[in-house]
Structure 1
Amino acid sequence: MVAVSAAPGIYDAALIRRQTLMGASGPRALVKNFRVFSIAMFACIGGLLYGYNQGVFSGVLTMPAFKGHMGDYDSDNPADQSRKGWLTSILELGAWLGCLLSGFMAETASRKYGILIATGVFIIGVVVQSCSISAGHSAILGGRFVTGMGVGSLSMIVPMYNAEVAPPEVRGSLIALQQLAICFGILISFWIDYGTNYIGGTGATQSDSAWLVPICLQLFPAVVLFAGILFMPFSPRWLIHHNRETEARKVLATLRGLPQDHELVELEFLEIKAQSLFEKRTVAEHWPHLQELTTWNTFKLQFVAIGSLFRTKAMFKRVIVATVTMFFQQWTGINAVLYYAPTIFKELGMDSNTTSLLATGVVGIVMFIATIPSVLYIDKLGRKPILTIGAIGMATCHIVIAGIVAKYRDSWPDHSGAGWGAVAMVWLFVIHFGYSWGPCAWIIVAEIWPLSNRPYGIALGASSNWMNNFIVGQVTPDMISGISYGTYLIFGILTFMGAGFVWWFVPETKRLTLEEMDVIFGSEGTAQADFERMDEINKEIGLDKIARGSNGNHVDIPEEKNGASIKEE
């Protein structure tokens, strides 16, 4: 055991010091940090809106009243199928744009007001959709695009806000709440569709309220989030980064329920300040003309920094891993299932719209439940095996569904068992996605970047997710009507390819330090330069001293190997 002065050692020492003061992670830590837990839960209403919006339109598309109002889009006419695709996928196009703008908005307006702005945009989009009863098809398209911009921004800013208000020992759990909130939103949207489908009857007499109610219900949680976020604290990290250190210290002490001069508050405050100084000095070194924190410079920095991701072979390899992983996540067909589940179940022989909606509701339940084990065990089992097994499972389900549809698609009434077998395969497919590619793809995208490039790398990966989401939503109706079982074959083959990509090209990132990330991606030295800069900052602000004890006493930490701390297995 030796005392280490390098930057990784400082943070190991800081972690030991913090654990001495606060104790270990786990359920008790969540109870102890109940104030922060409550704040994160409230912010995750943004995730609920995201999930609800993903799921609700699938049921609306099958409702006779909506079809009567918007015109037929269920015929075999290619123009009608393209229209149906736009009705669904326009939201993803808006979300892609919102995602690209969210980094700039969160940095200039703050994470808190970024959530406020994104929620306001979301509310405007829902209002436009609810007014489509008189304005028609164009209002639905425009409203869903605007709603998508809000959803895309919330999908980026809410996890960022939760990460920055959370203490390190519960940060992972609080970020994971976002994924569970998304699944919960999908779950309730399916069942609300199932219930409102009965308003006025399930046939020609169905009331317009059947589809207006589930759309308008989004306003309630959105208004609650919009009003409540005004009473939420700013991110301490954002305050420090914008030179509001006195306010940041006060907010941090309130979040932790401790006095402002408590050693734990001081330790975390200095860690955040060190990170802020690191980012500012990195910008000053690479882009000296953008180092002043003006709104225009912040806007330009987003594009300059993204361009830097393509300058070296090692960084481009990370770009490929992030964007291609998100490509395969969407081309597993998960959002085809979420957006068009009732249509798919009808294709699989369900004998009525009500039955297909009921089957769709089960999709929400199984996805929500399947996500929980991954949150608990992802750091123990690793990313690669879970992603690979999940992809093989999903691909197999697609192939089985394709075989059933190919054999029985012209005789479903005489083979109801085959139809329910295909439905069971859809449910199994959703289970495989829930524990694997749902959470794990986002973890990969967040982990692989050097410290100085991480915000822009994540934004690039997320934009790949939303753009492929848009394409899948656009082409799925044409695929189902045009090639029938071939739809599932294509998704299955692509998902098998995704398993191969992960296994042969994506390195295992479980428990790796930043330096080790550079080694496996072939960019040794990038992280070392980062750590040297961080080490200088730590000494400058006194973080190294407080990390080893208030009296400057050293805390023994594990000896390092290849410049990276050895972690306990």
Structure 2
Amino acid sequence: MVALENAAIGDISISYGPAGIKGLIRSPYIFSQALFASIGGFLYGYDQGVISGILVMSSFGKQFPTLADDATLQGWMVSILTLGAMFGAFVNGPIADRFSRRWSIFYANIIFLIGSAIQAGAQDLPMIFISRFITGVSIGMLSMVVPLYLSEVAPPELRGSLVALQQLAITCGIMCAFWLDYGTQYIGGTGDGQSEAAWRFPLAFQCFPSLLLAAGTFFLPYSPRWLVQADREQEARDVLCRLRRVPESDPRIRLELLEIKAASLFEQETRAAKYPDVRKKVQVALREYKDLFVLPHLNRRLLIACMLQFIQQFTGGLNDRDRTLEWLSLMRTGINAVIYYAPIMFRSIGLKGDSISLLATGVVGIINFVFTIPTIMFIDKWGRRKILLMGAVGMGTSQLIVGTLYAVYRDRWETNVGAGWAAAVFIWIYIANFAYSIGCVNWIMPSEIFPPCVRSKGVSIAIGTNWLTNFIVALITPRMLESITFGTFYFFLAFCVILFVWVIFLVPETKGVPIEEMDQLFGGNQGQEDLTRMLSVRARLGFADEGTTAKKNIEEDHATVEERE
């Protein structure tokens, strides 16, 4: 394997400032744009979290008595959203390529508004199920395109922090949904007199941030990498200048644009050489999907991206089983299940009443949100690998303790309240470790490791895998709990161990590596023909002369800054 080294400018750091919180403070424009785009993550988290409180509201049960009395139907009501999300994530790759990442966000919001409006006004079960699926399609689209968009507009030193805003927005949405449920349950009282507004208002409320994002999409900048792919180079240059807040003459802008152009030209020429007889875009797209699975360097990237999604779902077996058939049927695992079914779970460990269980669930939302913030501050300093390893240890330890508590006290929660609270505390510790580790990194790495021509396709497969695995885990866990009881927790603990070992030996560090230079980590440009093609592209773009000039200018700028300091 021959990995191309950038001899002309490889020793130049294209940096626009420090990493972490200092870099975000010094880059208010791109930070604000990323925060706004992350409303897509807020919608994902809010819709995911709001259903948990609604399921235990008495007015919801009165409106849908069949659903309230059938645990299997409740499980499908929750799970059907994941099926829609899986479909939305898979189909959004070609949409994001054809119409841009920006308009893909807009289209997803239109679908979200339709689904949310039907949910809030639902009068029967078909309306509930259809609206949940429609909303799921939108959430799948947003969960795929928002991190992709953020990774493509971010400078290398802030890419991890900006993409991590997706997870922060998700946790913010979950937290807001939990506490809104907690407040609206009192509309009309918490008993038989509870108003329908108690559950309809939280479902309708999500239309407002969706409308805000849909309207604001018209003001979001295009991804400069998509613009280059669309042969709109001057627009890409202008967008880069706005995003980086530097003039067009800045050598870093010229270098970054050259890197993007070189990667784009290389992909175009390689595509033409590989598929000389293919003219239709659909056929080319199908060939590129195939390449993701058969070319070694692309296959390795896809495996890492999908494994992150797979392990994310299989590292979270923190639930407890009640003696009732309803709880057994509703039992789910993974981080999403803690969100969906947290009120029921906290009841099972001795916390009584809707208010208390919703209050305990609200703590989950706060912890999830707060412990995402350190990743935004430090991931571009610490790196992806270190954070994944720390999270694996923390999650695994929590799994072990909760599983052991469940094995000892599963039939005696009511007489051992302290054990129940200990289980709740370690559930919260698990949530904290999940939030800062794989909860963030699983969005970051897939969006940054793929080459331009297959980036959206690779990300769509990875995020689709997340939703598919989520659905599968939700189906198998009740049966596992019935057959192996507390062994289920140790089963999921094993995946925390797998995560730790896998990261140590097979996951490279992508911290600070420009998207266009990921081939240096994963290969690509394999063989003399590809190497010659890339060198030819760089020569035509004038990399050698540009690199020498830029290096001199950047070194002079650094020296001036050091003198001032």
Residue number in structure 2 paired with 1:324: 307
Structure 2 counterpart of 1:172? 160
Residue correspondence of structure 1 range 506-545 to structure 2 within 5 A: 506=507, 514=518, 517-518=521-522, 526=526, 532-545=532-545
Contact 2:20 2:376 in 1 (8 A): no
Counterparts of residues 26-41 of structure 1 (less than 5 Å): 27=21, 29-41=23-35
CA distance in 1, matches of 2:524, 2:158: 31
Long gaps (5+) in structure 1: 1-5, 557-569
Q: Structure 2 unaligned runs (5+)?
A: 316-333, 556-565
Could you tell me which residue of structure 2 aligns to residue 311 of structure 1?
Answer: 294
Shift of 1:71: 2.5
Change (3 A) 1:25 1:327: closer
1:196 to 184, 200, 205: 184
1:9 matched to which residue of 2?
A: 7
How many Å apart are 1:303 and its aligned residue?
3.1
Distance 1:527 1:431, change over 3 A: farther
Matched residues in 2 for 1:397 and 1:23: separation? Answer: 38
Aligned counterpart, 2:219: 231
Cα distance, 1:300–1:338 mapped onto 2, change above 3 Å:
farther
Q: Which moved more, 1:448-457 or 1:418-427?
A: 448-457
Q: Report the counterpart of residue 44 of structure 2 in structure 1.
A: 50
SS, match of residue 288 in structure 1? coil
**Mapping 1:330-345, distance limit 5 Å:** 330-332=313-315, 333-345=334-346
Displacement after TM superposition at 1:89 (Å): 1.4
Q: CA deviation at 1:12?
A: 2.8
Note closer, same or farther for the CA distance 1:530–1:509 as it changes in structure 2 (3 Å cut).
Answer: farther
Superposed CA deviations along residues 493-529 of structure 1, whole A, max 9, x for unmatched, are 44444444445554566678745534xxxx6863886
- Alpha-carbon distance change, 188 to 478 in structure 1, aligned in 2, over 3 angstroms: farther
Per-residue displacement from partner, 1:269-328 (whole Å, max 9, x unpaired)? 3333223212212221223345x6xxx61x444432221233256654554443333212
Show the 5 A alignment for 1:71-470. Answer: 71-73=65-67, 80-132=70-122, 134=123, 136-290=124-278, 297=281, 299-312=282-295, 316-332=299-315, 333-446=334-447, 449=450, 453-470=454-471
Report if the CA contact (8 A) 2:157-2:380 is conserved. no
Aligned-pair distance for 1:49?
0.8
TM-score, length-scaled by structure 2: 0.84
1:61 counterpart (41, 55, 60): 55
The answer to whether the 8 A contact 1:98-1:148 is kept is yes
Distance in 1 (alpha carbons) for counterparts of 2:338 and 2:132: 19
- Kindly tell me: are residues 288 and 524 of structure 1, through their superposed partners in 2, closer, same or farther at Cα, counting changes over 3 Å? closer
Structure 2 CA distance for aligned equivalents of residues 548 and 88 of structure 1: 57
**Aligned partners of 1:309 and 1:316 also within 8 Å:** yes
| Bigger mean CA offset, 538-547 vs 337-346 | 538-547
> Per-residue deviation at 1:146?
1.0
1:416-474 deviations in Å (ceiling 9; x for gaps): 22211111111011112112221233444456556665443333222211111122344
> 1:87 is matched by which residue type in structure 2?
M
Q: Name the CA shift for 1:142/1:322 in 2 (closer, same or farther; >3 Å).
A: same
Once the two structures are TM-superposed, the CA of residue 347 in structure 1 deviates from its matched residue by 1.5
Q: Is the 8 A contact 1:82 1:474 kept in 2?
A: no
Worse-matched range after superposition: 301-310 or 148-157: 301-310
Give the aligned length: 531
AA at the equivalent of 1:540: R
Q: What amino acid is the match of 1:182?
A: I
Q: 1:338 to 1:517 in 2, by over 3 A?
A: same
Residue 268 of structure 1: CA displacement?
3.3
Q: Which residue of 1 aligns with 2:559?
A: none
1:548 aligned residue:
548
Equivalent residue, structure 2, for 1:567: none
Secondary structure of 2:189's counterpart equals coil
Work out the CA distance in 1 between the residues paired with 2:275 and 2:135: 35
After TM superposition, give the deviation of residue 390 of structure 1 in Å.
2.5
AA aligned opposite 2:418: G
Q: Please state how far the C-alpha of 1:220 moved relative to its aligned partner.
A: 0.5
- TM-score w.r.t. structure 1 length? 0.83
Answer yes or no: is the 8 Å Cα contact 1:282–1:452 preserved in 2: no
Distance 1:25 1:496 in 2: 30
Q: What's the offset of the Cα at 1:219?
A: 0.5
CA contact (8 A) 1:47 1:154 kept: yes
1:56–1:214: 8 Å Cα contact kept in structure 2? yes
Distance change in 2, residues 1:270/1:480 (3 Å): same
Distance 1:527 1:51 in 2: 45
Say whether the 8 Å CA contact 1:190–1:361 is kept in structure 2: yes
What is the alpha-carbon distance in structure 2 between the residues aligned to residue 491 and residue 138 of structure 1?
Answer: 34
The structural deviation recorded for 1:7 is 4.9
How far does residue 25 in structure 1 lie from its aligned partner after superposition? 4.4
Asked whether the 8 Å contact 1:194–1:354 carries over to 2, the reply is: yes
Contact 1:451 / 1:530 at 8 angstroms: preserved in 2?
no
Q: How far apart are 1:97 and its partner, in Å?
A: 1.0
Gap change, CA 1:258 and 1:424, over 3 Å in 2? closer
Q: Check the 8 A contact 2:368/2:435 in 1, yes or no.
A: yes
- Root mean square deviation of aligned Cα: 3.1
Q: CA deviation at 1:255?
A: 3.5
Distance 1:368 1:85 in 2: 26
60 and 229 in structure 1: CA distance in 2 versus 1, 3 angstrom threshold: same
